[in-house]
Amino acid sequence: MQYRVTSSRSNIRQSFFIHLYPFLEQSAAYDQYNFNVNWHDATNTPVRVLHVPVMICPTDKTELWTTDASTSIRGNYGLNWGKGTWSDRDGDGTAESSGGTIDSFRPSSPPFGNCFGARIANMRDGTSNTLLVMEMVQMYSGDNDFRGWFWNDEPDAYSIYTRLTPNTSAPDIVPRCVNRPLENQPCVTASSNPNSVSVASRSMHAGGVQVLLGDGAVRFISDNISLEIYQGLSTMNGKEVIGEF
């Protein structure tokens, strides 16, 4: 899917997920979705609660967001948001702008960001060396926890970071969460500052996580991967030398 590099904010909130429907054998649901209203509008409820098997890992449970009227499915796959935090995607300690052209982003930025999605041609490290989609675990239906909720466009819902290695015991930093360390869902709250948000890739199967690379290849990334290699895979133009992984 090739979208424009530049983008702008809109009053209509949407998730990346709905734009994948025509490619996931969900064309009927895509045609039913109302793009003229927010994703959480009641008219979009039938589409939001539709079970899409490809977005659910067989090793995890199937959950819903049920805390308010925007009831919708959760899932196991989110986007590579880089090696830093919500606003500092390249992890250099300086917040990046939202939207804009590719040249306004630092070389070590990831392919996705707030109001931003890169083209294939922008992955100058090579598509086989650039992470696109990463695994995440679903929170329980009744939890006020955005992680694993790809319908929501807020910071901790489907953005995943390589700040730490997969399935780390260190807590995710999110605005709202339920801390369940024994279920691979550790977290601390980020108070009211979404810019500090950082969520690790996690799974319910042993040893690592599944990822999708820019060339369409699905790979299993070990929990023991070198952090340097892992973070190198999260950039699209960092010029890192990627070893075996």
Distance CA 140, CA 147 (A): 10
Query: What is the per-residue pLDDT for 200?
Result: 96
Res. 3 pLDDT band, cuts 50 70 90: very low
Query: What is the per-residue pLDDT for 10?
Result: 57
| Mean pLDDT over each residue of the chain, to the nearest integer | 85
- Best CA proximity match to 101, nearest among 88, 118, 79, 81: 118
Distance CA 148, CA 171 (A): 15
Query: What is the per-residue pLDDT for 97?
Result: 56
Determine what percent of the chain is predicted with pLDDT higher than 90. Answer: 52
Q: What is the mean pLDDT of residues 206-223?
A: 96
What pLDDT, in 10s, does the model give residues 165-208?
999 999 999 888 899 999 999 999 886 555 688 899 999 999 99
Q: What is the mean pLDDT of residues 125-147?
A: 92
Residue 2 has pLDDT above 70, yes or no: no
49 — alpha (psi -120 to 50), left (phi > 0) or beta?
alpha
Cβ pair 137, 77 in contact under 8 A? no
- Best CA proximity match to 38, nearest among 63, 10, 64, 8: 10
Distance CA 197, CA 193 (A): 8
Residue 233 has pLDDT above 80, yes or no: yes
Res. 5 pLDDT band, cuts 50 70 90: very low
Q: Which residue has the higher pLDDT, 237 or 213?
A: 213
**Secondary structure (3-state) at 240:** coil
Query: What is the per-residue pLDDT for 44?
Result: 95
